[in-house]
Amino acid sequence: MPKIVQITRRERFSAAHKLARPEWSDQKNYETFGKCSNPNWHGHNYVLWVTVKGTPEPMTGFVVDLSALGEVIKEEVIQHVDHKNLNADVIFTKDIMTSTENLAIAIWEQLEKPVKKLGAELHCVKISETENNYVEYHG
């Protein structure tokens, strides 16, 4: 029986965002999203953990080459979001509410196919926004 192992790579990005619906008043946005609705933005050091799974390749012992996985995450996610404004600069997040939940789903969609090309399967995208909260999405 093949031995399934999960391997996780951690990456980080710093970005600005806000939680506010443009069709709502500042007042309604504040009532719904609190200080996260600040019109002039705020920001976070996001931490991203990408977990893939598969069977270690016999010659290398690798489920996936971690450097290659790191390159994929940088190319598909980090370079687009790091030191950017998630609502204004990023193609795959600028039309969504940038809640951590939605970020996790959007990043999953960026990564699912490229991870498959590496010969592994995407298992979990985990993001923390502050040290007191994080989100996990398993597809």
Residue from 2, 22, 91, 132 touching a second copy (CB under 8 A): that is: 132
Task: Indicate which residue of 17, 76, 80, 129 is catalytic.
Answer: 129
Q: How far is CA 77 from CA 27, 84, 92, in A?
A: 33, 12, 9
**Choice from 25, 26, 31, 66 touching a second copy (CB under 8 A):** 66
Beta bridge partner(s), residue 80: none
80 annotated active-site: no
Let me know if 129 is a catalytic residue.
yes
Cβ partners under 8 Å of residue 69, min gap 6: 7, 9, 50, 52, 115, 118, 120
Selected catalytic residue, list 31, 83, 101, 138: 83
**How far apart, in whole angstroms, are the C-alpha atoms of residue 51 and residue 35?**
32
Query: Which of positions 4-33 make contact with a second copy (CB under 8 A)?
Result: 4-12, 14-17, 19, 21, 32-33
CB of 18 closer than 8 Å to CB of 87 = yes
Task: Note whether 90 and 124 are within 8 A (CB).
Answer: no
Strands (E) located in 62-120: 84-85
CB atoms within 10 A of CB 123: 17
Contact status: 92 vs a second copy (CB under 8 A): no
Nearer to a second copy by Cβ, of 54 and 76: the residue is 54
118 binds a second copy (CB under 8 A): no
Minimum distance between the CB of residue 116 and a second copy, rounded to whole angstroms? 18
Residue numbers at the binding site for a second copy (CB under 8 A): 3-12, 14-17, 19, 21, 32-36, 38, 40-45, 51, 56, 59-63, 66-67, 82-85, 88-89, 96-102, 104-105, 130-138
